[in-house]
Amino acid sequence: MKKIFMLDKLAFYWFSAFLLAAVILSFSHFQSESNDSKYYTDLVVRYHQSDLSHMLTPKWGENFWGFDRDGYMFDQFPGQLLMGIALTKIGVPAEQSLHVLGMFFQICSFLILAKLVAGLSNQENAHFVLLVMLLTPLSFSYNIRANHELGIMFFSFFSLYAGWKLVNTWKWSIAVVFSSTFLLMIKGPFFVFGPILFWLGFYFSEKSKKSNLYFIFAQLLALLFVALTAVGFDYLFIHITGQSFLKEFWHIQINQRALLEIKKHTLLIQKILNFVYYFNHYLAYSLPWSLILVVALFLKNKFRTWCSFLLLPQSLILLSASLVFCLLFSLSDRIAGRYVFPGYYLFSAWIGIGLLGLDQKYSLFILSQKERLQVLIPLLWFISFIVHFI
């Protein structure tokens, strides 16, 4: 109970910082330097006062990629746009709605992962994991974005946590249905991370015969909802435009992009190179912690301790979840660092948990500062928010 209280207290301070940041952002003229982020923001500005039929069938308009401005956006579902527009209905400025939503998703993602770590080990480990994730390059460069990645991270982490909690009640089945459907509407094929991470969370939980039935029911229901949502959206799209969304989406996203092949190497070698590309990004985006880990292993000869850590449930669940993104996207020769965005934080969290076992000084620091950390962690996040205005 105490560890839950501690995390809830931290969450209260963090969401207070979020509300302050949202107010500052709403009255600012902040613009992201990312072309993708600028474009999705512009979409919300362009469509937030339109009727629903236009919101469901947005056209490219002015864009950075040379697409026909009068052509429909067949390469993505409109979930990101619709969520941004929804926030404008409660008073958030259209220019900042997706930025505010992204910050909310980021904080919720971190807290969900902290709850998982606290449940698997203790609240001190959870606090250290939060510090590790906040003290990485991405946390200082990616918390005010209108892109899809932050929403994908939230619904992915939510599915992982829901799978782990399913043993307590069947109600967590709803979470994977909810998450998988939202992942579909945000980024199409990314819906697969809902059922996969839900399974991983469930696999590392204390299963029972009853919870096994819950799991099967949840997975089938999630896939059913995804299929019905996709078909239902295609029906609406055809009714409004006379064209099939799913047919064009499959042609663009699957045939032209996901199945793109680079013929410089044999199939196996190319997939290994793809994996190396993503894993190098994991190491880079988890700095300085990945470097600290390497130093501890090679200079302090901690390999035996590290091998023991690798077999612990908190290690296996975080490492497996992070590698899911790396491995799946390695299958496609169309590579981009943003595809595995949630994996960066899962990998950083895994390194953080490992460092606690390798060096006692980290645990002693957390124990001595745990009261201050209730304020320090939200403050650190708020500082990373302010950095975007400098």
Q: What is the pLDDT of residue 116?
A: 95
Distance CA(354)–CA(244), nearest Å, equals 49
Q: Distance between CA 134 and CA 345 in Å, rounded?
A: 9
Confidence bin at 4 (pLDDT 50/70/90): very low
Q: Is the pTM of this model over 0.85?
A: yes
pLDDT greater than 70 at residue 3: no
At 241-286, the pLDDT tens digits run 999 999 999 988 888 777 766 667 777 888 899 999 999 999 999 9
Task: Classify residue 13 as exposed, middle or buried by CB count within 10 Å of its CB (0-12, 13-18, 19+).
Answer: middle
Q: DSSP letter for 208, please.
A: -
- Nearest CA among 39, 150, 154 for reference residue 108: 154
HSE of 47, CA atoms in CB hemisphere, 13 A: 26
Burial of 271 (0-12, 13-18, 19+ CB in 10 A): middle
Ranges 204-208, 244-248, 255-259, 314-318: which has the least confidence: 255-259
The mean pLDDT value of the chain amounts to 90
Whether the CB-CB separation of 309 and 315 falls below 8 Å is answered with: yes
Q: Measure the N-to-C terminal CA separation of the chain; round to a whole number of Å.
A: 41
Q: What is the pLDDT of residue 136?
A: 92
Instruction: State pLDDT tens for residues 102-142.
Output: 999 999 999 999 999 999 988 888 999 999 999 998 888 88
Residues 345, 9: Cα–Cα separation, whole Å: 22
Q: What is the mean pLDDT of residues 301-325?
A: 87
Looking at residue 255, what is its pLDDT? 83
302 pLDDT more than 80: no
Query: Rounded to whole angstroms, how far apart are CA atoms 80 and 201?
Result: 26
* pLDDT value, residue 1: 41
More confident residue, 204 or 5: 204
Residue 72 — φ and ψ, nearest 5°? -70, 150
Res. 338: pLDDT tops 50: yes
The two structure tokens encoding residue 209: 């015969």
Percent residues over pLDDT 90 in the chain: 64
